Chains A and B, each alone.
Chain A
C-alpha cells in the first residue's frame, strides 16, 4: 500500500549535493554526541577499573581527597591491628600507608608542565593493586627510584627508563614502567614511601591508608570500627565509592558535549525541514500524480517522512563513522580532586553508536514531519499545477 522506498532513495541520490550538505549537519551533531558519550564512558572505565571492591581508603575526618588528607603513623599502627583485614600468603596484613603529592612534568603539549600524581607506598601497596611491570624493576626502599605508569611514559617525553625526573627535593631515577590496565595507576608515579615522605617533609604521616577486608561483611564492620574509634580522627570510604565520586569530573564535559550536539541538531532540523519543504514544492506534480493513481494521504505522508528519515539515517551512519576513530585515541583530563592529570581512552561503545543513530532518526522525523504533512495535505489539483 505504500509508495515504494526506491522512489525515495533514488530521489535522494539524484540530488546528491543537497542530500550531502543537509546530511553533513546531522552527521556532525551525531558525531559530537557519540564523542561526548565516548569520553564519559572512557573516564568511567578508568575509574571503575581502579577500584577493588573489598578495599577501603582511610582519610582524615571529613576529608574527601587523598591530596588534602593526613593520617599519622600512630594511627596507621592502630588501623593495622584491626580485625577483618585480609592477610596475604606471607601472613602480612594488607594495609598500606601511602603518601600522595603532585609533580610537575613538562610535555610537548604543555611546556609549562602538567601535574602528575606521585604516590609513595611500600611493597604491600603494590601487592594490593592489580598492576604489573612492563619493563625494568620496582623501586628499592631507601633509594631515590620511581616506577612510572604506562600513560605517563607515553605522554611525557622526559619520562623514559633510565632518565631522571625532578620533584620534591631533587632528582629520581626511573627504574621501571608499570601497567595497571585501564586505571588511574597508569597516570601515576610510584616511589618508596619513606623516601617520598622525607622529600615532602611528611615524616610522621601519610596521606591515606589503604586496607583490604576479607569479605564484604568484614569490610562493613571495619568501616564502622575505624569511624567510631575515638583514638583516630579518620573517615573511611570504599575504594569503589572514592573513584566513583571522581567520575563527576566528566560531568561538565559531558554537559558541554550534549549541549553543543543539541544546538547543532536544532539547526540541522531547520535545514532539513527547509530542504524537505523545497522538495515537496519541486515534486508537486509527482504528488498530484500519485494521488491521482490512488495513493492515500497517509501513504504520501509516510513516503516523504521516510525520505527525511532515510536521509537522517544515512547522516547518522556518517556521524558514527566520523566518531569511531576516537575509540583509539588517548587523551588526558585534569582532576581537580587529585590536582593532576589522568589519562584515558575514549570508549566508543555499541550503546553510544546506537544512541547516535536513534538521535539521527528522531531528528529526521522531527525535521521532516511538517513538510511531509504538507505534502500529504496538498490538494490534487493544486499539486498538479505546480511547475
Chain B
C-alpha cells in the first residue's frame, strides 16, 4: 500500500515568552493508505502539533512533511490553502461549525473552492450529510443541533471534498459517552467501508480502541510501534481482539 503521509525527522520549537519550548523532536512517521491510527500521549506531548504540521497549518522548524510524495516546504500560503482543501479533511475538538450557516451550508463551504457548480455542490453536501445520518437536518443551524450531531456535520464537512486523508484532533473531547461512541463508530465505518485514511489524536484510551493502530508521543518524541510511555498512567491499549469495536468492524 502506498504511503500517504510521511514525516522525516520532524521538529518543532516555538517561543513562549523568552523560553524556547520543543514541541516535537525528530518525529518520523509513515501513514499508509487505508490506515486508522490513533496518536496518544499526555498533554504537552506534541500530538496536536504533529497534526497541525501535517495539515500544513504550521511550518516545521526542521524536517520534512511529504504527502503523497510531495514536499510541502516549497509551497506558498495560497498553494497550501488550495492543497489543504483538496487533500485533507480536518475535524476539530470544538466542532468549529460556522454558527450563521445551516448544516448543509457548512458542509458546502469547502466545496465552494472546487470547480463544482452550485447544483453539484448541493448534491455532494447532501450525500455527505446522509452518510453521517443527518439527512433530516439539512437546514438546521448549529445551535439547533446536539454536540454529537454538530460533530457529525463536521465529519460530513471533512469528507465532502473526498480528501486523501482525515485528521481528527480530539474529536470526542467535547462529547458525552453516547455521542462519542456514535462519532467514533462513524469514523471507523468510514475507514472500514470506504477505505478512508484517518489519523486521530486523542488522550482517551477508549476512543483509541476504535482505531486499528495506536502510536504514542512522549515529550515530543514518537515512540516505536508497540511501545508505551513509561510514566503513562492510563491503561495500555490491548491489541485488537475479537471483542473490540475495531475488530468487530473489520470482521464485517
Contact = CB atoms under 8 A, between A and B. Distances in A.
A and B touch in the complex (CB under 8 A): yes
Interface stretch (A135-143, A228-236, A283-291, A324-332): A283-291
Contacts of B52: 380-381
Contact of B100 (A11, A292, A379, A380): A11
B78 A10 contact: no
Nearest to A8: B100
B110 interface: yes
A7 B98 contact: yes
A1 B112 contact: yes
Given A1-B112, A4-B112, A381-B57, A294 B96 contact: no
Interface in A277-322: 285-286, 288-298
Contact of B90 (A3, A7, A292): A292
A342 B99 CA distance: 58
Contacts of B55: 292
Contacts of A292: 55, 57, 84, 90
Interface of A is mostly: helix
A297 B113 contact: no
Given A285-B94, A289-B92, A380-B58, A294 B113 contact: yes
Contacts of A286: 96, 98-99
A291 B98 CA distance: 13
Contacts of B84: 292-294
Nearest to B108: A4
Contacts of B105: 4, 6
Interface in B3-58: 52, 55, 57-58
A294 B110 contact: yes
Nearest to B85: A294
B109 interface: yes
Contact of B85 (A293, A297, A384): A293
Interface of B: 52, 55, 57-58, 77-78, 81-86, 90, 92, 94, 96, 98-101, 105, 109-110, 112-113, 157
30 contacts: A2-B112, A4-B105, A4-B112, A6-B105, A7-B101, A10-B101, A11-B100, A14-B100, A285-B94, A289-B96, A291-B57, A292-B55, A292-B90, A293-B84, A293-B90, A293-B109, A293-B110, A293-B113, A294-B81, A294-B83, A294-B84, A294-B85, A295-B113, A296-B77, A296-B78, A296-B81, A297-B78, A297-B81, A380-B58, A381-B57
